[in-house]
Chain A
Amino acid sequence: MTAPLLSIEDLDLRFASDRGELHALHGVSLTVGEGEIVGLVGESGCGKSITAAAVMGLLPMPPARIAGGRIVYKGQDLLTLSDRAMRRIRGPEIAMIFQEPMTALNPVFTIGSQMSDVLCRHQRLSRRAARLKAIDWLNRVGIADAGARIDAFPHQLSGGMRQRVMIAMALSCRPRLLIADEPTTALDVTIQAQVLELMRTLVREEGVAMLLITHDLGVVAETCDRVHVMYCGRVVEQATTRALFAAPRHPYTRGLLECLPRIDGAAIGGRLPTIPGTVPELSKLPPGCAFAPRCPQVQADCEQAPPPVRALQADHLAACLHPVSAS
Chain B
Amino acid sequence: MSLLRVRGLKKYFGGSGWPRRKAPLKAVDGVDLDLAAGHTLALVGESGCGKSTLARAILRLHEPTGGEVWLDGTPVTGIGRAALRARRREMQIIFQDPYASLNPRRSVGQTLDEPLSVHRWGNRATRQARVNELLEVVGLRPAMANRYPHEFSGGQRQRIGIARALALSPKLIVADEAVSALDVSVQAQILNLLNDIRERFGVGYLFISHDLAVVRHLADRVAVMYLGRIVEEADTADLFRQPRHPYTEALLSAVPVPDPTRHAGRIVLPGDLPSPSAPPSGCPFHPRCPKAVARCSTEVPALRTMDDGARVACHLV
Contact = CB atoms under 8 A, between A and B. Distances in A.
23 contacts: A158-B273, A188-B210, A189-B254, A190-B268, A193-B254, A193-B268, A196-B256, A221-B259, A246-B261, A257-B258, A260-B184, A260-B213, A261-B217, A262-B217, A263-B255, A268-B217, A268-B236, A271-B192, A272-B192, A272-B217, A274-B188, A274-B192, A275-B185
Which 4 A/B pairs are nearest by Cβ-Cβ distance?
A218-B256, A259-B188, A261-B217, A188-B46
Contacts of B269: 190, 193-194
B183 A263 contact: no
Interface in B146-172: 153, 155-156
Interface of B: 46-47, 153, 155-156, 183-189, 191-192, 195, 210-214, 216-218, 236-237, 240, 250-262, 266, 268-270, 272-273
A278 B184 contact: no
Nearest to B189: A274
Interface of A: 43-44, 158, 160-161, 188-194, 196-197, 215-222, 241-242, 245-246, 255-257, 259-264, 268-276, 278-279
B188 A218 contact: no
A272 B179 CA distance: 14
Given A221-B260, A269-B218, A189 B210 contact: yes
Contacts of B46: 188-191
Contacts of B240: 263
B246 to A, nearest CB: 12
Given A241-B260, A259-B184, A275-B188, A160 B251 contact: no
Nearest to A197: B268
Contacts of B195: 269-271
B260 A245 contact: yes
Contacts of B214: 261
A256 B236 CA distance: 24
A245 B240 CA distance: 23
Contacts of B192: 271-272, 274
Given A188-B273, A261-B216, A268-B216, A218 B185 contact: no
B268 A263 contact: no
A263 B272 contact: no
Contact of A272 (B191, B252, B260): B191
B188 A272 contact: yes
Contacts of A44: 183
Contacts of A276: 189
Contacts of A256: 184-185
